[in-house]
């Protein structure tokens, strides 16, 4: 096997290694995007819970108000005993009736709020179920990604080991040049000079480079991009 053929095998491994590393590098961001899917459900649940608490707070405050008004009626009833005139009695009775009417209105509102609370409670339960369902889906997707990482790590190890074997015995000068180009270009270091065009930068090569690349007698590089030619 020629040095070029050996380098092409090494390059196949290197390209696959780069591909694997790129996918592995992207997976954390993909996991973050999966978790972001829950943000809408979490926001909906928080809104439902806030509405539920607000309705409970309204009911509690209304109950306090009604209790206060009933206490005032009790106090007024006690004061009626000490009234001296019928006029004063009627005036206080009128005040009591007004408070009782207000209590009746409050009690009607209490019933409405209790209905609102039940509706809000149902929304909370629905939001929780939807979040739980979405979370299950997200966790399954994340599990798949974690399994994918494990598979990629195993494949990466195999490719790296195979790369070491395939690079064994290659001329040191060629190997050094190849490694330097791979590092700088982050991709193909060895490209064809098919039809007189560099397979890396696609520039038309001078005739002498085409001939040298075809002979494969020495290390030939593109005068434009610096990649190795064959």
96-135 pLDDT, tens digit each: 999 999 999 999 999 999 999 999 999 999 999 999 999 9
The answer to whether 215 touches 176, Cβ cutoff 8 Å, is no
Per-domain boundaries in the chain: 11-168, 171-230
SS3 (DSSP) at 222: coil
What band does 8 get if pLDDT is binned at 50, 70 and 90?
A: very high
* Environment class of 147 (CB within 10 Å of its CB; exposed 0-12, middle 13-18, buried 19+): exposed
How many other C-beta atoms lie within 10 A of the C-beta of residue 74?
11
pLDDT tens per residue, range 42-86: 999 999 999 999 999 999 999 999 999 999 999 999 998 888 899
**Residue 84: its pLDDT value, please?**
87
* Environment class of 228 (CB within 10 Å of its CB; exposed 0-12, middle 13-18, buried 19+): buried
With pLDDT > 90 as the criterion, what percentage of the chain qualifies? 86
Q: Minimal CA–CA distance to 222: which of 173, 3, 201?
A: 201
The mean per-residue pLDDT over the stretch 166-192 comes to: 93
Q: What pTM, to 2 d.p., does this model score?
A: 0.69
The mean per-residue pLDDT over the stretch 28-37 comes to: 94
Q: Which fold has domain 11-168?
A: Helix Hairpins (1.10.287)
* Environment class of 159 (CB within 10 Å of its CB; exposed 0-12, middle 13-18, buried 19+): buried
What band does 184 get if pLDDT is binned at 50, 70 and 90?
A: very high
User: CA 151, CA 44: separation in Å to the nearest integer?
Assistant: 36
The mean per-residue pLDDT over the stretch 157-170 comes to: 96
**Residue 83: its pLDDT value, please?**
87
Q: Minimal CA–CA distance to 38: which of 131, 140, 127?
A: 131
User: CA 175, CA 155: separation in Å to the nearest integer?
Assistant: 24
- DSSP single-letter state for residue 204: B
Tokens of 140: 């399954």
For β-strands 228-229 and 190-191, DSSP reports them as parallel
Helix (H) or strand (E) holding 229: strand 228-229
Average pLDDT of the chain is 94
Tokens of 13: 């491994």
**Residue 211: its pLDDT value, please?**
86
The interaxial angle of helices 172-185 and 3-80, nearest 10 deg, is: 30
């Amino acid at each position: 096997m020629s040095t070029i053929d050996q380098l092409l095998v090494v390059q196949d491994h290197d390209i696959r290694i780069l591909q694997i590393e790129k996918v592995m590098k992207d997976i954390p961001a993909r996991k973050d995007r999966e978790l972001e899917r829950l943000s809408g459900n979490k926001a909906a649940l928080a809104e439902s819970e806030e509405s539920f608490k607000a309705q409970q707070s309204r009911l509690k405050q209304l109950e306090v108000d009604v209790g206060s008004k009933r206490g005032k009626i009790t106090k007024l009833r006690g004061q009626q005993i000490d009234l001296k005139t019928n006029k004063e009695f009627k005036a206080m009775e009128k005040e009591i009736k007004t408070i009782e009417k207000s209590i009746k209105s409050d009690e009607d509102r209490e019933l409405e709020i209790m209905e609102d609370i039940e509706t809000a409670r149902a929304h909370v339960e629905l939001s929780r179920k939807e979040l739980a369902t979405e979370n299950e889906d997200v966790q399954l997707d994340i599990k798949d990604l974690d399994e994918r990482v494990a598979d990629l790590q195993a494949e990466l190890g195999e490719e790296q080991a195979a790369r070491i074997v395939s690079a064994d015995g290659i001329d040191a000068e060629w190997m050094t040049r190849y490694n330097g180009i791979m590092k700088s270009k982050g991709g193909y270091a060895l490209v064809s000079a098919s039809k007189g065009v560099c397979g890396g930068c696609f520039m038309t090569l001078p005739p002498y480079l085409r001939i040298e690349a075809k002979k494969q007698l020495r290390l030939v590089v593109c005068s434009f991009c610096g990649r190795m030619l064959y």
